[in-house]
Amino acid sequence: MDKHLVLGDQPLTIEDVINVAENAYTVSLSKEKSFVDKINASNNYLKNLIDNDVNIYGVTTGFGDSCETLVEKGQLTDLPLYLSRYHQCGLGDFFTPKQARAVQITRLSSLIQGKSGVSFGLLNLMVEQLNHNISPKIPQEGSVGASGDLTPLAYLASTLVGESELYFEGKYQPTMDVYNKLNLKPIKLQPKEGLALMNGTAVMTALACSAFEKASYLCKILSRVTAMSCLAIKGNKQHFAEGLFVAKPFPGQALIAKQIRSDLDLQKKSPNAGRIQDRYSIRCAPHVIGVLQDALPFFKKLIETELNSANDNPLIDAENEEILHGGNFYGGHISFVMDSMKNLVANLSDLVDRQMALVVDSKFNNGLPANLSGASKDSKNVCHGFKAVQIGVSAWTAEALKNTMPASVFSRSTECHNQDKVSMGTISARDCLRVIQLTQQVAAASVLITSQALQLRLNSGEFKEEHLSEDVKSFKEDVLSQFKLVEKDRPLDLDLRRFVNFIDQRRWKLYQ
């Protein structure tokens, strides 16, 4: 780890969140006077209001519909502790340590805006957690996305006071055991700090950052798969000619076509089946992948705006001496991005499912063996190559398509009708990541299928190495260095899992 991120000097980016989540960056708080002053000012202003008996939601009152219940001064530090405890009712699978780290840095990003009334003690311990690579054990289910991600963030808050569990040295351990090993001290939450930690969009936004990074890479890997599919079936390269995309000038669509065109290298005269127009899944691939590519800059703007916002309630505005009671915890923008992204990603899965159906089917692949079996003559009648993998591709695609129902329209009235309109942003983000995972599975299968197809063409003598662009040739060679050509049938599940991981970890640096 050789890179460092200073928090508070400039806005965070999606890439910053990913790098911190992957433990590639250490972090620290800015030492700039303007930053230090704004954090202290918000915290001190809140203390002054409490000393002067000003009623503040969630500080001197109960939460949600209990906002009319006043809390005695002697109980003000109990209130945030109990808030973190009673919200620990999450269920389902747990977020991965990488996802939890993304949540930690995302919550920090909101708190350092200087509108939450928190202390440097809280911020410093969150920084220590990140730099020691320790992350809370957070269940995935239980948030409706407003009033923020209350239940999952309760597990983050609880670790700061020494409760719950932290992931450290490859396993979950009691928080105080970890702190004792690292000589760290838990804090006592000040008034408002429990609410500041929990009443925001950190979980859905962290997941959106991860989804954005994964979706961006899928656009690249599936551009390459499209080029390899076109070559494998002896398709018409001119479907990707530049003039087509000048005539319909969506920049993302044009970029995808350019990437496919570079992989095909239109100057190389590779074998062609002579069909004037290939089927839509080949011919229209830039028009399908390009929709997501064109949407990514807009998605990025919305995600990063949320990432760099003060999104809890109430806000403590010391500069203007105001307590602002509002709804910045509402995750509508993230919910919209995730609902939109999962539809666009599922379309990629559907596209590639159709491409693979062409490549493995001897009725459409222009001379390749059925199911791309590499079996020799004496065993070809009992071997079936990628037949079952193609079924799997269809199954994963069907599940991805099923998960495209928008979560944001399923708002539920909760908490005595106080939270009567909620964003469902975290559910949408989780759905989006599931659709991405399924599409990564489709992509992994397609990488293996198209690499096998091209190698079979080369082995038969139909293709020569010079028919392939340098990028496609080196990509295929790298794939086949990790994957033995399927000649006699064998289980392929472990290969598929490994290549899903390669895609998730962005193994190939594409289109630099």
Is residue 173, in this structure, part of any structural domain at all? yes
Is residue 509, in this structure, part of any structural domain at all? no
Q: Which two tokens stand for residue 158?
A: 């609880």
Domain boundary among 176, 200, 224: 200
Q: Give the tens place of pLDDT for each residue, 209-247.
A: 999 999 999 999 999 999 999 999 999 999 999 999 999
DSSP assignment letter at 237: G
pLDDT at 385 over 70: yes
Omega within 30 of 0 (cis) for the link into 147: yes
Is residue 138, in this structure, part of any structural domain at all? yes
Q: Give the tens place of pLDDT for each residue, 469-502.
A: 999 999 999 999 999 999 989 999 999 999 999 9
Q: Does one domain contain both 266 and 245?
A: yes
Amino acid identity, position 46: L
Is residue 91, in this structure, part of any structural domain at all? yes
Q: Does one domain contain both 49 and 158?
A: yes
Is residue 196, in this structure, part of any structural domain at all? yes
Cα 294 from Cα 251, distance rounded (Å): 7
Instruction: Provide the number of structural domains found in the chain.
Output: 2
pLDDT at 52 over 60: yes
Q: Does one domain contain both 323 and 262?
A: yes
Q: Does one domain contain both 240 and 166?
A: no
Cα 154 from Cα 134, distance rounded (Å): 16
Q: Does one domain contain both 257 and 335?
A: yes
Domain boundary among 200, 228, 247: 200
Q: Does one domain contain both 337 and 403?
A: yes
DSSP assignment letter at 27: E
Q: Does one domain contain both 105 and 167?
A: yes
pLDDT at 100 over 80: yes
Q: Does one domain contain both 119 and 214?
A: no
Domain boundary among 200, 234, 254: 200
Backbone angles phi, psi at 4, to 5 degrees: -135, 140
Residue 485 near residue 452, CB atoms below 8 Å: yes
Q: Does one domain contain both 239 and 162?
A: no
The enclosing domain of 85 has a CATH number of 1.10.275.10
Is residue 406, in this structure, part of any structural domain at all? yes
Q: Does one domain contain both 339 and 443?
A: yes
Structural domain boundaries enclosing 101: 3-200
Q: Give the tens place of pLDDT for each residue, 117-171.
A: 999 999 999 999 999 999 999 999 999 988 889 999 999 999 999 999 999 999 9
This prediction has a pTM of 0.95
The 10 Å Cβ neighbour count of residue 370 is 15
Q: Does one domain contain both 406 and 348?
A: yes
CA distances from 296 to 74, 290, 345, 434, 467 (A): 50, 10, 11, 18, 33
The enclosing domain of 487 has a CATH number of 1.20.200.10
Is residue 510, in this structure, part of any structural domain at all? no
Q: Does one domain contain both 287 and 191?
A: no
Amino acid identity, position 125: L
Average pLDDT over residues 249-265: 97
Q: Which pLDDT value is given to residue 419?
A: 75
Is residue 511, in this structure, part of any structural domain at all? no
